[in-house]
Amino acid sequence: MAIAYEEQVGSCSARFADGGGSATRVFKVAWGDAFDFANELYGRYQTWPGGEYHAPKRFPYRNYLYCNDVAIEGLGKQSELSNADGTYISYVWAKITAQYAPMTDVDPENPEVVEEESMAVSAEMLTLPEGSYEFTADSAVVPDSAMPGRIETTTSFSVTRFHISALPDATVSGMVGKVNNAGWRGYTAGHVLFAGADARRSITTDGAQDWQLTYNFLIKDHSWNNIYRKSTGTIVAVRTVNGHDPIYIPGTFTDLGLSA
In angstroms, rounded to a whole number, what is the distance separating the alpha carbons of residues 40 and 13?
A: 20
Give Cα 16 to chain centroid, integer Å.
35
With CA atoms as reference, report the closest residue to 18 among 206, 207, 208: 206
Average pLDDT over residues 186-200: 93
- Domains held by the chain: number: 2
The answer to whether residue 86 is domain-embedded is: yes
Q: Does 222 lie in the same domain as 142?
A: yes
Instruction: Count Cβ neighbours within 10 Å for each residue of 112-130 and write b for 16 or more, e otherwise.
Output: eebeeeeeeeeeeeeebee
For residue range 115-160, what is the model confidence (pLDDT) as tens digits? Answer: 778 888 887 777 777 777 778 888 888 887 777 777 888 999 999 9
Would the pLDDT of 165 be above 60? yes
The answer to whether residue 29 is domain-embedded is: yes
At 11 the pLDDT is: 84
Instruction: Give every CB contact of residue 240 below 8 A, 6+ residues apart in sequence.
Output: 246
At 49 the pLDDT is: 47
> Distance from first CA to last CA of the chain, Å, rounded?
33
The answer to whether residue 109 is domain-embedded is: no
Q: Does 236 lie in the same domain as 189?
A: yes
At 230 the pLDDT is: 78
For residue range 4-58, what is the model confidence (pLDDT) as tens digits? Answer: 998 988 888 998 887 778 999 999 999 999 999 998 998 876 655 456 778 889 9
CA 252-83-37 angle, to 5 degrees, is 80
Q: Does 152 lie in the same domain as 35?
A: no
Q: pLDDT category, 107, cuts 50, 70, 90?
A: low
The answer to whether residue 216 is domain-embedded is: yes
Return the percentage of the chain with pLDDT > 90, whole number. Answer: 35
Q: Does 213 lie in the same domain as 87?
A: no
With CA atoms as reference, report the closest residue to 256 among 188, 187, 181, 203: 181
Q: Does 159 lie in the same domain as 222?
A: yes
Structural domain of 70: 6-102
Q: Does 120 lie in the same domain as 78?
A: no
Q: Does 122 lie in the same domain as 89?
A: no
Q: Does 237 lie in the same domain as 122?
A: yes
